[in-house]
Structure formats: structure tokens, C-alpha cells
Amino acid sequence: MKEKILVLAKTYPNLSRKYVETVCVAGITNKGEWRRLYPIPFRKLPFIQRFKKFEWIEVETIKNTKEKLQRKESCKADAGSIKVLGNVGTGFNRKWNERNRLLLSHVNKSLEDLEEQKKSRKVSLGLIKPAELMDFTLTPLEECRDWEKDLIKGTQKTLFGNYNSPLDRIPWKFSYVFKCNDSECKGHCLMCEDWELLESWRSWKNKYQNETLLWEKIKQKYFEWMKNRNLHFIVGTESRFNKFLIIGLYYPPKL
């Protein structure tokens, strides 16, 4: 089925034993339905197909009936069929009006509400607005598995040939600590895999070679600065434990 999808989130590339390297993409169709597109070998796509956040794309999709979790929004995408249609900009004076019109009608009450929908309807994507942003934390990730180490070095041979685009692995986990606008909320600490955030760490480490200073700059942008924006989290469940993560940040100016 050919669908038009507004891309709202791209995770930093993940290593995959089966697909070598993939990016999880989430968006909303022109009919207002959430979609998770997988697998997308983003860095292997021709440049003309490398879409950005807030771009409309056209792509052939099929319901992923073999997925273990049977998540409502999951679709297999034919990466070769991707066509970039156009960008939804921030508009005159960067007010984000068109983006807000397309997204903010999809805001969920809370993460607690999404957890209930996950149990009852296998919902696995949503948009939430934190009522209180409490902290932004940095913790070490677990050690690489051997096959991941070979991919990172670009030395592993795969079914798709030699892996010639080694990935910069970021050995840290970034998490937001927040509360929802829900009387049942006791607070959450969710890992954030937004590509923009992790790419900032990857690219800024050459500018701020002192890791303490680098972390200060990251926290200043993604925590302190975000407090002054109308911050929303695009959240989605991961496939291993079916737990919600933050897969994208939406941060228009406050009204």
C-alpha cells in the first residue's frame, strides 16, 4: 500500500544482526494515523531519498504481521520506494503554526494513558507533553556484543557484503526525568534516542574535547533551553522489552 507520511521522529542508527544497520522512523499519515517504519537503512539510501524530520514522504508499506509484539502501528517499508514530497516548515516568524496544526491534535493525556492503550489495543506510539521536566541524566550503556564491535569497526562481513560505513557508537544513555499531567503519575525516567540529540553529542565532542564541558553543553541545550519551549515527547515502544522510550523531541516556542 502506498502511503503519505509526515516524518516526526528518527532514531540514531542502531546496529542489527539481521539488517546490519537500521533507523526506526515514526510519523503520521495524511489520514492522521501513526506509523512505525522498519527497517530503514537510512545511511545506505541515495541522497535524494534521505528524508528529514517534518518532511512528507511517499512509501510502499505493508502491515508487519510477523512482528512478535504485533504493535498496532508497525509496518514494513520498501525503502527503495521512498519519495520525498516536501517539507513542513516553521512558517512566517518561525511560529510553527502548520506543524502544530498537524501534531497537537494527537497529544495523549499521559504516559499512563498510553500504557493502558498498549495493554488493550497494542498501541505503541504517541505524543505526550511533560507537565514537569525534573532532570536530564547521563549513564553508561552496557558493553558492546562482539558482533557489534566488528560492525562499529567496519570489519564484519554480512549477507549484504562488507559493512563499509562504520557507526560511531555513543556509549551513553540520555534520559529525561519528568511527570505527566495525570493524578496517577508517580514520575518517569525515559531513555531518549532522538537522532538530533545523539548527533549533537557525536559532532560536539570534537568541539568540546573535555567530556565534562561537552555534557554541560548538551544539558544546557536539551534540558535548560527546552524548559523555555513547548516541549513534547514522541514516544514509542522498543521491540525487546516493549517499554516506552522517547524517540523524538517536538519543541515549538511557547504560545
Report the candidate in 131, 102, 114, 134 with the shortest Cα–Cα distance to residue 232. 131
Same domain, 70 and 162: no
Residues 64 and 240: their CA atoms lie apart, in Å, by 16
Same domain, 150 and 112: yes
- Choosing from 59, 93, 127, the residue where a domain stops is 93
Same domain, 113 and 208: yes
Residue 255 lies in a domain: no
Same domain, 89 and 114: no
| Residue at grid coordinates 513542513 | 88
Residue percentage of the chain with pLDDT more than 90:
60
Q: Is the pLDDT of residue 23 over 60?
A: yes
Q: Is the pLDDT of residue 17 over 70?
A: no
> By 3-state DSSP, what share of the chain in percent is helix, strand and coil, each rounded to 5?
25, 35, 35
Print the domain residue range for 60. 2-93
- pLDDT tens, position by position, 118-173: 999 999 999 999 999 999 999 887 665 554 455 445 455 544 455 455 567 777 88
pLDDT at 167: 64
Residues 230 and 181: their CA atoms lie apart, in Å, by 14
Same domain, 67 and 128: no
| Residue at grid coordinates 514530497 | 85
Same domain, 89 and 113: no
- Choosing from 62, 93, 124, the residue where a domain stops is 93
Q: How many Cα neighbours within 13 Å face the side chain of 218?
A: 29
- pLDDT tens, position by position, 164-204: 555 677 778 899 999 998 988 999 999 998 999 999 998 99
pTM: 0.89
pLDDT at 165: 56
- pLDDT tens, position by position, 115-128: 999 999 999 999 99
Same domain, 242 and 137: yes
Overall number of domains in the chain: 2
Q: Give mean pLDDT, residues 22-29.
A: 90
Same domain, 200 and 123: yes
Same domain, 177 and 79: no
CB 125 within 8 A of CB 111: no
Residues 53 and 229: their CA atoms lie apart, in Å, by 18
Q: Is the pLDDT of residue 215 over 80?
A: yes
Residue 84 lies in a domain: yes
- Choosing from 93, 121, 136, the residue where a domain stops is 93
